[in-house]
Amino acid sequence: MAIVTCRQLGYRYRDEDSSRAFALHGVNLELEQGLFYAVLGSTGSGKSTLLQHFNGIYQPSEGEIQVLDVTFQAGQKKKGLKELRSRVGLVFQFPEQQLFEETVEKDLMFGPIQFGKSKEAAREAASKALAEVGLSRELLERSPFELSGGQIRKVAIATVLASEPELIVLDEPTATLDPVSRHELIELLQELRRKEGRTVVMVTHRLDEVFCAADRFVLMKEGTITFTGTRQELLESPERLAEAGIVEPQMMTLALEASRRTGLPVAEMPCELDDWAEWLMNHSGLASGQSGQPAHASDPDDDNRTALGQPAAHEPIAEEEQAGELRPAGTGEEG
């Protein structure tokens, strides 16, 4: 079932000059319930503008968009959106923009209270949301601005979760985060989708961080959608990434090259790094279908050994190693 449907959606900023009339134009899109969507595109492609239509911050200049049971049509300004905004949680690109209370607990309680819950129910929702993002209850009495960048980002997501939305929309949530915090955040979003059936829509320009996590991919360029599909469909159309100004992730490059060398369908290639290790063990004897040379001449493992700084399988070993003359470190013997 579609949770969001766009039909020829267009949006014009009021102060936009005539040379860049529409931030969005001709957008047709359906988002199904319970999936993880990654929306990708270069700066100015319309990603953030599209997301802010999902809870009525922006409303169409052309066409229409239906979100859950609310339909926005061009020329018809809709008000009274409190219920919709309790069901569609939006996490902004800079989370400090939506944190303003003295304590984490007060920030987490704000949304539920605004949407009609009692203080006691809001307090319970705050504790539950904080646990959902993997943070300790001890942080409830802390100022949100005393937390680390990763903690602030998780608290911002928790402020949205406290209102129990059906659709979670995140605008560049991993920006400024270190690699460990980015990985934890993506895992959290996957858990919300898998365990609770939430629909997750995440805007990013880094395909590598969502390539194995997302169920569907949406590519945007200059205010319109150029591609919508699964990971397999994206693998089958890698040229779409260059068109949208997106860098091809290493896992995708590896899958395409392994498919080319072995002749196996790209759909059979693994995605996660751990799965690749097992796949390479099972397929290390496959030679390129285009050469009659021994397997090691076109062994796909060699590329991966090289990437790890290890010698290829057929690369000669240094004479000292062959003769067993490796000296222990710190002997002080120099040439």
What is the tens place of the pLDDT at every residue in 71-94? 999 989 999 899 999 999 999 887
Q: How far apart are CA 109 and CA 117, in angstroms?
A: 9
Task: Pick from 24-33, 264-273, 291-300 the range whose average pLDDT is largest.
Answer: 24-33
Q: How far apart are CA 90 and CA 200, in angstroms?
A: 10
In contact, 182 and 174? CB cutoff 8 Å:
yes
Which residue did the predictor score with more confidence, 95 or 69?
A: 69
What value does the mean pLDDT take over residues 144-172?
A: 91
The whole-number pLDDT of residue 27 equals 97
pTM, full prediction: 0.80
What is the tens place of the pLDDT at every residue in 271-290? 888 888 888 888 876 644 44
What is the Cα gyration radius of the chain?
25
The whole-number pLDDT of residue 174 equals 86
In contact, 26 and 8? CB cutoff 8 Å:
yes
What is the tens place of the pLDDT at every residue in 29-59? 999 999 999 999 998 899 999 999 999 999 9
In DSSP terms, 72 is beta-bridged to 65
What is the tens place of the pLDDT at every residue in 106-138? 999 999 999 999 999 999 999 999 998 889 999
Q: What percent of the chain has pLDDT over 70?
A: 83
The whole-number pLDDT of residue 301 equals 53
Going along the chain from its start, the domains and CATH numbers come out as 2-243 (3.40.50.300), 250-311 (no CATH)
How far are the Cα atoms of 90, 269, 304 from residue 204, in angstroms, in the given order?
14, 24, 27
The whole-number pLDDT of residue 74 equals 94
Of 43-57, 65-79, 151-165, 313-327, which range is least confident? 313-327
Helix/strand/coil (H/E/C) assignment for every residue in the chain: CEEEEEEEEEECCCCCCHHHCCCEEEEEEEEECCCEEEEECCCCCCHHHHHCCCCCCCCCCEEEEEECCEEEECCECCCCCHHHHHHEEEECCCHHHHCCCCCHHHHHHHHHHHCCCCHHHHHHHHHHHHHHCCCCHHHHHCCHHHCCHHHHHHHHHHHHHCCCCCEEEEECCCCCCCHHHHHHHHHHHHHHHHHHCCEEEEEECCHHHCCCCCCEEEEEECCEEEEEECHHHHHCCCHHHHHCCCCCCHHHHHHHHHHHHHCCCHHHCCCCHHHHHHHHHHHCCCCCCCCCCCHHHHCHHHHHHHHCCCCCCCCCCCHHHHCCCCCCCCCCCCC
CA 174 from centroid of its chain's CA atoms? 8
The widest CA-to-CA distance across the chain, in whole angstroms, is 83
